A and B are shown apart, each in its own frame.
Chain A
């Protein structure tokens, strides 16, 4: 199955016929070969999970895998959508882009840092476990991110004038 599709077709969709043809081309040998190979590899993983079920606890593992996807799709993603809407509604003009940049980076860093800020993994009898004040450190990182965003806004405005 060829990859050589007509690139000039993109951009204008006059009717659906061309796309159906393009799609049927895309869903060719490569698709089914990759699907077969991929599912063989998936099967290796599933077999390993079942063979080592004392360690992997397939039931609980499945809950985490499916639950992770559901939490993302049904809670996190809509939440981000709403925040995006709020930013679009509350912030306009020249500030919207820097606010979006700052918000995306801040939210990601905060999500990543949440377990250490809450000290979920703190070990007893081990002073090297989570040695920092992570709430303060997270605040420092976020301030640095927004300072960088602010500086870039100012630099951009100076350049324009």
Chain B
């Protein structure tokens, strides 16, 4: 910071950011508050008009690359989110398979990783196009009006999706609505707005991404706002380094970090790399919550997959679920209903069954996961004992007196999987109350919230 260069004078550098004639205009504009307020728009005569945003980073190419990246990340989030929703809200037309066992772990891991990686991309994209928000007049044609109305669900929705998703993995709920319902339905709103936006920007984006890089031409991006700015650009006699010609950066000439170019500061490619770097840093400091080898780097992940009772984390402990006494009671029974034979088992009965081992992941919707060795009785053996008809669906219920996830259902394929257990042991040790003592459901390819803990009823439906 001490290295103040012999560049253009401070006023010149300032002006290079907001427009070189800012200092010349402001006193005049202060004459009337209305004029002054209008001057802070992109009115062709005002200091905040499009052409004033002289940073080469506010460029249609940068906007296109960021937009395409964001569109891809949001689409990944939407598809994986839809998959997660279908897991939690089973539909008659789709029987969720029980294999591959780690599928949900991967899909939800991708959902959260993509969402976190999109944080810097969204911020950068909004920064790049921000001058458009203060454009004046906001629209001139019906199409522009329609497009502009669509920006609210797009921008508001995008910010909401990313903010609510990050808050949810932090288990921070500064609102009263249901996260899952709101996040899910707002995803439709946001994706709809994205579809409309892609249609509006398709020509420009494709053209921009397929042609050699060059200096931004505002008129291309926005003829109405840009034409006046472009036409006026040569008259803006800023510092020489700010002249349009100086901004012609050759595509291949990536400036290494720390280098100076014809103009000081980030190049467009440098800016995009910085955004990628920010996404990379956020990914590296969180992805270890689900990707074992990177666990030591997961400095900012809200869960550590190796910290918790028996060495594994939980979202909801026995005390918070209100089951401590119920689970420890000698009156505990596991009841199987709906079959030909009613079955009621004590914990000792349960432990007398042939134990089956399965190495299965717990994959939380919040993006953390771990794999462990679970032991217990196969659900299908219990169903056979109760004389359940083959192909029946099963509802698993918890001792938990209340809570959105006190029950979960298994389709016949999931219930009959050889690794679907009512587990009594974790890594060879009896379950900790926080992990679901006396027994919990553990099944392949399943969200963690549906791996019901403290199970006391199995209902054949």
In chain B between 201 and 238, which residues have their CB closer than 8 angstroms to a CB of chain A?
202-204, 206-207, 211, 214-215, 217, 219-220, 223-224, 226-227, 230-231
Q: Does the CB pair A44–B308 fall under 8 Å?
A: no
Q: Whole-angstrom distance between the alpha carbons of A98 and B257 in the complex? A: 6
Summarize A's interface: helix, strand, loop or mixed. Answer: helix
Of B133, B159, B255, the residue contacting A97 (CB under 8 A) is B255
| Chain A CB within 8 A of B253 CB | no
Q: Whole-angstrom distance between the alpha carbons of A126 and B318 in the complex? A: 9
Per-residue interface assignment for chain A, residues 83 to 127, with 1 indicating a CB less than 8 Å from any chain B CB and 0 otherwise: 011001111111111111100110011011101100011011111
| Chain A CB within 8 A of B452 CB | no
In chain A between 1 and 59, which residues have their CB closer than 8 angstroms to a CB of chain B?
3, 5, 7, 10-11, 13, 16, 19-20, 22-23, 25-27, 30-35, 37-46, 48-49, 52, 55-57
Most chain B Cβ neighbours within 10 Å, of A93, A108, A138: A108
Contacts of B220 in A (CB 8 A): 10, 19, 22
Per-residue interface assignment for chain B, residues 248 to 278, with 1 indicating a CB less than 8 Å from any chain A CB and 0 otherwise: 0000000111111000111100100011011
Q: Whole-angstrom distance between the alpha carbons of A60 and B190 in the complex? A: 17
In chain B between 171 and 202, which residues have their CB closer than 8 angstroms to a CB of chain A?
171-178, 180-182, 184-200, 202
What are the 5 A-B residue pairs with the smallest beta carbon separation, nearest first? A34-B199, A38-B196, A45-B188, A41-B192, A93-B5
Of B27-35, B149-157, B384-392, B436-444, the segment with at least 4 beta carbons within 8 Å of chain A is: B149-157
Of B10, B171, B186, B315, the residue contacting A89 (CB under 8 A) is B10
Whose C-beta in chain B lies nearest to the C-beta of A42?
Answer: B192
Please list the residues of chain A having a beta carbon within 8 angstroms of any beta carbon in chain B: 3, 5, 7, 10-11, 13, 16, 19-20, 22-23, 25-27, 30-35, 37-46, 48-49, 52, 55-57, 60-61, 64-66, 68-69, 72-73, 77, 80-81, 84-85, 88-101, 104-105, 108-109, 111-113, 115-116, 120-121, 123-132, 134, 137-138, 140-141, 145, 149, 152-153, 155-157, 159
Q: Does the CB pair A19–B223 fall under 8 Å?
A: yes
Contacts of B204 in A (CB 8 A): 26
Q: Does the CB pair A121–B257 fall under 8 Å?
A: no
Q: Does the CB pair A35–B200 fall under 8 Å?
A: yes
Q: Does the CB pair A25–B259 fall under 8 Å?
A: no
Q: Whole-angstrom distance between the alpha carbons of A10 and B170 in the complex? A: 47
Q: Does the CB pair A3–B202 fall under 8 Å?
A: yes
Contacts of A120 in B (CB 8 A): 167, 170, 172, 174
| Chain A CB within 8 A of B243 CB | no
Whose C-beta in chain B lies nearest to the C-beta of A159?
Answer: B256
Q: Does the CB pair A93–B150 fall under 8 Å?
A: no
Distance (whole angstroms) from the CB of B194 to the closest CB of chain A: 7
Q: Does the CB pair A77–B10 fall under 8 Å?
A: no
Q: Does the CB pair A131–B200 fall under 8 Å?
A: no
Q: How many residues does chain B have at the interface if contact means C-beta atoms less than 8 Å apart?
A: 118
Distance (whole angstroms) from the CB of B38 to the closest CB of chain A: 17
With A116-B300, A124-B320 already in contact, 9 other A-B pairs whose C-beta atoms are closer than 8 Å: A10-B211, A26-B200, A26-B204, A30-B199, A42-B153, A105-B274, A123-B317, A130-B170, A153-B257
Please list the residues of chain B having a beta carbon within 8 angstroms of any beta carbon in chain A: 1, 3-5, 7, 10, 13-14, 16-18, 55, 116, 119-120, 123-124, 126-127, 130, 133, 141, 143, 146-147, 150, 152-153, 155-157, 159-160, 163-164, 166-167, 170-178, 180-182, 184-200, 202-204, 206-207, 211, 214-215, 217, 219-220, 223-224, 226-227, 230-231, 255-260, 264-267, 270, 274-275, 277-278, 281-282, 285, 299-300, 302-304, 307-309, 312-317, 319-320, 434
Q: Whole-angstrom distance between the alpha carbons of A93 and B265 in the complex? A: 8
Whose C-beta in chain A lies nearest to the C-beta of B321?
Answer: A125
Contacts of B304 in A (CB 8 A): 128, 131-132
Also in contact, A13 and B230, with CB within 8 A (given A19-B223, A95-B3, A97-B255):
yes
Also in contact, A101 and B170, with CB within 8 A (given A10-B211, A10-B220, A96-B265):
no
Distance (whole angstroms) from the CB of B142 to the closest CB of chain A: 9
Q: Whole-angstrom distance between the alpha carbons of A89 and B274 in the complex? A: 20
Q: Does the CB pair B7–A5 fall under 8 Å?
A: no
Distance (whole angstroms) from the CB of B63 to the closest CB of chain A: 15
Q: Does the CB pair A145–B10 fall under 8 Å?
A: no
Q: Does the CB pair B119–A112 fall under 8 Å?
A: yes
Contacts of B198 in A (CB 8 A): 34
Q: Does the CB pair A128–B314 fall under 8 Å?
A: yes
Contacts of B200 in A (CB 8 A): 26-27, 31, 34-35
Also in contact, A65 and B17, with CB within 8 A (given A40-B192, A108-B278, A141-B285):
no
Q: Does the CB pair B1–A91 fall under 8 Å?
A: yes
Q: Whole-angstrom distance between the alpha carbons of A97 and B265 in the complex? A: 4
Q: Whole-angstrom distance between the alpha carbons of A30 and B207 in the complex? A: 15
Q: Whole-angstrom distance between the alpha carbons of A67 and B53 in the complex? A: 25
Residue pairs across A and B with Cβ atoms less than 8 A apart, 22 shown, are: A10-B217, A13-B219, A19-B226, A23-B223, A30-B203, A31-B147, A32-B199, A38-B195, A41-B191, A77-B133, A88-B13, A89-B10, A96-B265, A109-B281, A115-B172, A125-B320, A126-B320, A131-B307, A131-B308, A131-B313, A132-B299, A134-B299
Also in contact, A93 and B7, with CB within 8 A (given A13-B217, A65-B156):
yes
Contacts of A101 in B (CB 8 A): 257, 266, 270, 274, 277
